[in-house]
Structure 1
Amino acid sequence: MLITLWLTTRAKPIMPTTRTATRQTKDRQKPTTKQLRRALMQANRKPELLSPAGNLEKLKYAVNYGADAVYCALDRFGMRASAGNLSPEQLAEGLDYAHSKGAKVYVTLNTMPRDNELSDLKEYAKILAQTTPDAFIISDPGVMDIIKQEIPNAVLHLSTQASTVNSASINFWSRYGVKRVVLARELSLNEIRLIRENINPDMEIECFVHGAMCVSYSGRCLLSNYLTGRNANGGACAQPCRWKYHLREEKRSENLYAEEDPQGTYVFSSRDMRMIEHIGDLVNAGVDSFKIEGRMKSAYYTAAITNAYRIAIDNYFDGKEFDINCLRETENVSHREYGTGYFYTSPDIDANVVDANEYIADRPFLATVSEFNPEKGLAKCYQRNKMLKGQNANLLSPKSFGRDFVIGNMYDMEMNPIESTPHAGMEFYLEIDSANAGDIIRG
């Protein structure tokens, strides 16, 4: 058991001379280095909103719905092997698109490659040198070296996979040339605040503020490797922490206590994080970048959550009250039971596990709008789930919470009337008074 003791000592006061007292009075008026850092931290420096981009479509939705930056990966070395990811050509297109909108693109190379993968990694580095993303998110020092050899001016961000939890570690990485550290999710706001006071003010701090959490320190869990042979550190985690378990001890006579329903217990399955109500606390702790988890989630999830946090952040810095619609918006997408992670507690106090492992979603993802003809009042749409004529729906646009409408006349691509959109991914036309390319139709 680890016990931390906080000791406070009081030194016996020394009565100063008049000259000494005058000097001490002047000294007290000078801010300390830590106070200067805290002042810099709280100088209303609006944090970056960083959104997931599991593929090119999601990248564009994240940017259109308010992300200051996105993070993505190519098909290897990016911790999300099943996300779809981007080809080198798509990465180049995504960079051009994001930059045209004033947003940045960060590429994740945060797996822990083995020696037999290093030659492939070096080839990847050469490909990435031709596109030059705005930063690389890396956890392995060897990968950093390889990237720096091929791209000397590369901006380096340290991944949360490195499990950074103290200022000494951050100061070490700062000397190596790392510009930003993605802190471990297990830190509290008080710990983050203390870290900010003890690092270079120019070092950036990034924290996950929304999305799924790992039951272990990120990258330290071996359940997937052991139970399925899928390497979590290689981006192929099977998430056995989300499976149902029964607790059984055959030889002990005493009871073993575990919360369990008829389907089993979820002792490993973490709640989703949601910090949208606590923007001010994150800002005051010195967080420079608010990161949304979810490269494997849908384009709708990416757009809706990015949009909600964009509105919440802007409202906070405009001096407005928190809009409860931002909170409601997070309920509309697929999610598990929400919590605030460990920002206000610690892993040894709160296990942060769900009561049930079902996904919750108030508004299903129905379609996306690709074009709108105002003269004809027709929106060209791409089906994501079945829509029915007469169904209640909501049209979501950037910087809004959407508007309700009733689905009216629909047509196939030959302009034949249809009553529903039964085929997965089908294109169709929808009569609607107004819409924009990139809008989302939801139930």
Structure 2
Amino acid sequence: MKKERKTALPELLAPAGNMERLVTALRFGADAVYLGAEAMSLRNYADNFTADGLSEACAYAHARGKRVYVACNAFARDTDLRALPALLRQIRAAGADALIVNDAGVIRVARDTVPELPLHLSTQANTLNAEAAMFWHEAGIRRIVLARELSLAEIKEMRAALPDALELEIFVHGAMCVSYSGRCLLSNYIAGRDSNRGECAQPCRWTYELRERGHNGAYFGIEQDALGTYILNARDMNLIEHLPAVIETGACSLKIEGRMKSIAYVATVVNAYRMALDRYSAAPDEPLPAELSKELDYASHRPYTAGFAFGDPGAAGQAPQSADYVSEAQISAVVLSYDAQAQTAYVEQRNRFADGDVLSILSPGDIARTFTVRSIHNEAGETQQTAPHPKQRLHIGCIEPVQAGDILRKISGC
């Protein structure tokens, strides 16, 4: 007997660090994107969006029936609040669908300045219980991005205790913080960059040496065992294999972390979760195909964990051996257009590839096709054996039909 799915399929919410990533996220299946304006965002080193860029982004998303949420979730000082009303009016004029907020002062100013804009409470607020959720709801919050430190069982219990008018959003994929939901001061002390104002230097990813002070005042290095020295390095969250349990929590939105990540990351992760969600909707009893889980190994990531989904992971949530990203694939090119008659793709190079290489095609809902590059010509018509130049535009022999926006990639071992 098939399960009766009692909850609507949740929104898939993707990061958009710039316009290219926004277009990629929506094309590969995101229902909504979140992004930052030029101020008050916790990702100051993302490209972020100017006033004109934000208007363009909202218009592009709305034309496709998608939504745009703008982060104003930095910890604010009085100088920030004085400039905030103008920024909020700019965001409203651009057509944003909601604001992601954290600071109580920002919430108060937003309710006074743009009362019609829904407010989503950032995960930085560390909401862990239903009473705190109701407090924020009574303060004008429409949706709460729950702390990553909650288990799925706790989220489900919270959902049952809260009114339907208060939405819950949860993270399902991406980087995790060694500190409590991002409330960290390491970057401030070590690098002079305020992590709570969008400037985190990520010192938790650095390697450290432990030393012990001897009785005579001398310092001795403490030898490390196989656990290494990346003692603060958290694993990345990956819940794709647990989507049925995630959906059963009743959360209305599933969030992917990564406003600083590449289009290859955005396309790969969004596409995998979109396919998994749609498959669950059509056949909730069917297990997740191994190839969908494998897709996430093709995105740049640290070792994966389910995070706190099933309780405190303890040491299993850390990756002390290395803070390096790993990936079993590398983006080679982005398709600009395709000539079906000539069987050639017009592409923009992103990483070196060569004539004769086997490339995998990443297209919305399509992860199974490959082809062998049979020729490479530059825009002057000259033959090349390799494509070594960043963002060079080329015509390549491609017997598989592709579309503008598709990503061509090299898979390790192919």
TM-score (norm 2): 0.92
Distance (whole Å) between structure 2 residues aligned to residue 295 and residue 258 of structure 1: 37
Please tell me whether residue 278 in structure 1 is matched to residue 245 in structure 2: no
Matches within 5 A, 1:393-408: 393-408=359-374
Matches within 5 A, 1:144-183: 144-183=107-146
User: 1:374 Cα deviation (Å)?
Assistant: 2.3
Q: Which residue of 359, 368, 373 corresponds with 2:339?
A: 373
Q: Deviations over 1:61-102 (max 9, x none)?
A: 000000011101112211111111122212111111111222
User: 1:175 Cα deviation (Å)?
Assistant: 1.3
Who is 2:318 aligned against? Answer: 353
Please tell me whether residue 223 in structure 1 is matched to residue 193 in structure 2: no
Q: Deviations over 1:201-256 (max 9, x none)?
A: 22111111000000011342100000010010111100000000122222379x99
Who is 2:272 aligned against? Answer: 308
User: 1:132 Cα deviation (Å)?
Assistant: 2.6
Distance (whole Å) between structure 1 residues aligned to residue 394 and residue 110 of structure 2: 45
Distance (whole Å) between structure 1 residues aligned to residue 199 and residue 214 of structure 2: 36
Q: Deviations over 1:112-158 (max 9, x none)?
A: 12112223322211211211311111101211222233322001100
Distance (whole Å) between structure 2 residues aligned to residue 65 and residue 252 of structure 1: 61
Please tell me whether residue 439 in structure 1 is matched to residue 370 in structure 2: no
User: 1:318 Cα deviation (Å)?
Assistant: 1.0
Q: Is the 8 A contact 1:42 1:286 kept in 2?
A: no
- Name the aligned partner's letter for residue 317 of structure 2: N
Who is 1:318 aligned against? Answer: 282
Distance (whole Å) between structure 1 residues aligned to residue 46 and residue 198 of structure 2: 10
Distance (whole Å) between structure 2 residues aligned to residue 352 and residue 238 of structure 1: 21
Please tell me whether residue 54 in structure 1 is matched to residue 21 in structure 2: no
Q: Deviations over 1:270-316 (max 9, x none)?
A: 00000000011111122211100011110010011000001111111
Q: Is the 8 A contact 1:129 1:150 kept in 2?
A: no
Q: Is the 8 A contact 1:44 1:317 kept in 2?
A: no
User: 1:47 Cα deviation (Å)?
Assistant: 0.7
Distance (whole Å) between structure 2 residues aligned to residue 307 and residue 54 of structure 1: 17
Q: Is the 8 A contact 2:299 2:328 kept in 1?
A: yes
Who is 1:330 aligned against? Answer: 296
Distance (whole Å) between structure 2 residues aligned to residue 121 and residue 418 of structure 1: 53
Q: Which residue of 354, 370, 383 corresponds with 1:417?
A: 383
Please tell me whether residue 243 in structure 1 is matched to residue 206 in structure 2: yes
Who is 1:207 aligned against? Answer: 170
Distance (whole Å) between structure 2 residues aligned to residue 410 and residue 111 of structure 1: 47
User: 1:406 Cα deviation (Å)?
Assistant: 1.1
Distance (whole Å) between structure 2 residues aligned to residue 352 and residue 258 of structure 1: 22
Q: Which residue of 370, 387, 390 corresponds with 2:353?
A: 387
Please tell me whether residue 64 in structure 1 is matched to residue 33 in structure 2: no
Count how many residue pairs are aligned between Structure 1 and Structure 2. 400
Identity of aligned residues (%): 39
Poorly superposed stretches of 4+, deviation over 3 Å = 255-262
Matches within 5 A, 1:33-48: 43-48=6-11
Q: Is the 8 A contact 1:312 1:326 kept in 2?
A: yes
Q: Is the 8 A contact 2:119 2:140 kept in 1?
A: yes
Distance (whole Å) between structure 1 residues aligned to residue 397 and residue 316 of structure 2: 49
Q: Which residue of 55, 63, 67 corresponds with 1:92?
A: 55
Distance (whole Å) between structure 2 residues aligned to residue 389 and residue 150 of structure 1: 58
Distance (whole Å) between structure 1 residues aligned to residue 316 and residue 185 of structure 2: 19
Please tell me whether residue 74 in structure 1 is matched to residue 37 in structure 2: yes
Q: Is the 8 A contact 1:366 1:384 kept in 2?
A: yes
User: 1:377 Cα deviation (Å)?
Assistant: 2.5
Q: Which residue of 257, 262, 265 corresponds with 2:229?
A: 265
Distance (whole Å) between structure 2 residues aligned to residue 245 and residue 281 of structure 1: 37
Structure 2: gaps spanning 5 or more residues: none
User: 1:260 Cα deviation (Å)?
Assistant: 4.0
SS of equivalent to 2:396: strand
Please tell me whether residue 293 in structure 1 is matched to residue 257 in structure 2: yes
Q: Is the 8 A contact 1:366 1:383 kept in 2?
A: yes
Who is 2:97 aligned against? Answer: 134
Change (3 A) 1:421 1:329: same
Structure 1: gaps spanning 5 or more residues: 1-40
Distance (whole Å) between structure 1 residues aligned to residue 207 and residue 301 of structure 2: 18
Q: Which of the two has higher C-alpha Rg?
A: 1
Distance (whole Å) between structure 1 residues aligned to residue 151 and residue 57 of structure 2: 34
Who is 1:118 aligned against? Answer: 81
Q: Is the 8 A contact 2:7 2:248 kept in 1?
A: no
Q: Which residue of 92, 99, 103 corresponds with 2:66?
A: 103
Q: Is the 8 A contact 1:386 1:423 kept in 2?
A: yes
Distance (whole Å) between structure 1 residues aligned to residue 389 and residue 151 of structure 2: 47
Who is 1:9 aligned against? Answer: none
Distance (whole Å) between structure 2 residues aligned to residue 332 and residue 314 of structure 1: 20
SS of equivalent to 2:329: coil
